[in-house]
Amino acid sequence: MPRERGLSVRLKLTLSYAGFLMLAGGLLLAVVWVFLLRYVPPHATYRPNAFFPGRNDLIRAFVPAAAWALVFLLGFGLLGGWVLAGRMLAPLRRITTATGRAAQGDLSHRIQLEGRQDEFRDLADGFDAMLTRIESQVAEQQRFAANASHELRTPLAVTQTLLEVAEKDPDRDERALIARLQSVNSRAIELTEALLTLSRADNRVFARSDVDLSLLAESSFETLLPLAEKRGVVIEVTGEQAFAAGSPALLQQVTTNLLHNAIVHNLSAHGTVHLRTAQHPGEAVLVIENSGDRIGAALSTLLEPFTRGTDRVYSDQAGAGLGLAIVHSVVRAHGGTLELLSPEEGGLRVTVRLPETAKPSVP
């Protein structure tokens, strides 16, 4: 909304300095009047070989000099105030310049204000930190948007190809076509839901309540037990109650995603998955460990969106590459940490640490 142009801060400070100086000069003259001139007789006194000026004489001699002194104070106050205000507001001008550049899209500029710590330095440092965070988030969002558009293009392109081939083939198998289209559509829906979950976690838009991680582990175990039995994977769930503050739905997503990954990425014959919970001082801990080959250098990239361990994944369970990225975002949004470790004997161990909450009282 456009605003009417007002006086600059520098001019306001200059007028304030000059006005304060004039006020101080006026008070000084008032003190001279109250405590000195009022006690002088109004008329001059003549004595032999001596002349004592009266109050009127002193006023006639003092007023012009006092007026010139006030004029000098006014000029000095305006000039000195203008210079001092300019020096004091110089950091603010640098901050304003940086703000304008950031508003135009230049997030790489930093103020880096020199000097000792004061209010302006605190503001500049806070602004630099904010720009750093915004630049990082914008870069992450741009990278994520590019990856997401690429991933969503794949099922759409496959659908388009299937429809074009079916249109040119008069002897097409409609049931096979419908089944293939349903599979591709399911994958697109799964990817879209994963993107929405990841965005929700990144924005931290969720209500918090007391959550027992052991109950979430049991629920995920019951949900994914048929998949584990189909693949010949044995799941062991152990541990104690572990209470954390967070969203039950999002933390359930964390447990389910980790357990699902541990099952489908388990290439060992008669593989195993160990899931355990624990309550440590100040934190609730969830650990999921699966057998399999050692991951190696690819471990550091598993938390990136759309990154898949293709050498460890069955082709029918490749997924969207968002499982661990969602887990990482949800854990980070809850103020927790996520640790990945590939032991020497192989497999993957994922440790989730969340800030604990008070254990609900039992009536």
Q: What is the mean pLDDT of residues 339-363?
A: 77
138 within domain boundaries: no
User: What are the tens digits of pLDDT across the range 55-79?
Assistant: 677 777 777 887 888 888 888 888 8
Same-domain status, 185 and 288: no
Last-in-domain residue among 158, 188, 203: 203
pLDDT at residue 142 greater than cutoff 50? yes
Same-domain status, 340 and 224: yes
327 within domain boundaries: yes
Per residue in 281-307, is it b (16+ CB within 10 Å) or e — as a string? eebbbbbbbbbbbebeeeeeebeebbb
The confidence band for 320, taking pLDDT boundaries of 50, 70 and 90, is: very low
Same-domain status, 232 and 338: yes
The confidence band for 311, taking pLDDT boundaries of 50, 70 and 90, is: very low
Same-domain status, 299 and 320: yes
User: What are the tens digits of pLDDT across the range 145-175?
Assistant: 665 676 667 677 778 877 887 788 777 777 8
Same-domain status, 218 and 311: yes
Same-domain status, 216 and 198: no
Q: What pLDDT is attached to residue 141? A: 72
- Nearest-angstrom CA–CA distance, 291 and 274: 9
Phi, psi of 171 (to 5 degrees): -100, 30
In whole angstroms, what separates CA 227 from the centre of its chain?
38
Among 294, 217, 285, 292, smallest CA distance to 257 is for 217
Same-domain status, 234 and 198: no
341 within domain boundaries: yes
The confidence band for 313, taking pLDDT boundaries of 50, 70 and 90, is: very low
Q: Extract the tokens encoding 244.
A: 């954390």
- Nearest-angstrom CA–CA distance, 266 and 209: 33
Return the CATH number at 186.
1.10.287.130
- Nearest-angstrom CA–CA distance, 123 and 68: 42
- Nearest-angstrom CA–CA distance, 159 and 152: 11
For residues 312 and 292, is the Cβ–Cβ distance under 8 A?
yes
Last-in-domain residue among 184, 203, 222: 203
Q: Extract the tokens encoding 358.
A: 């008070």
Same-domain status, 49 and 155: no
Residue 94 or residue 198, greater confidence: 94
Residue 331 or residue 156, greater confidence: 331
Same-domain status, 149 and 44: no
Same-domain status, 232 and 319: yes
CA atoms within 13 A on the CB side of 254: 33
Domain count of the fold of the chain: 3
122 within domain boundaries: no
pLDDT at residue 285 greater than cutoff 90? yes
Same-domain status, 213 and 347: yes
Q: What pLDDT is attached to residue 352? A: 93
Last-in-domain residue among 82, 106, 130: 106
| Burial class for 123, CB neighbours closer than 10 Å (0-12, 13-18, 19+) | middle
Q: What is the mean pLDDT of residues 181-193?
A: 75
Return the CATH number at 322.
3.30.565.10
Same-domain status, 334 and 215: yes
Q: Which domain holds residue 349?
A: 209-355
Q: Extract the tokens encoding 295.
A: 């991951």
Strand 234-239 versus strand 272-280 pairing type: parallel
4 within domain boundaries: no
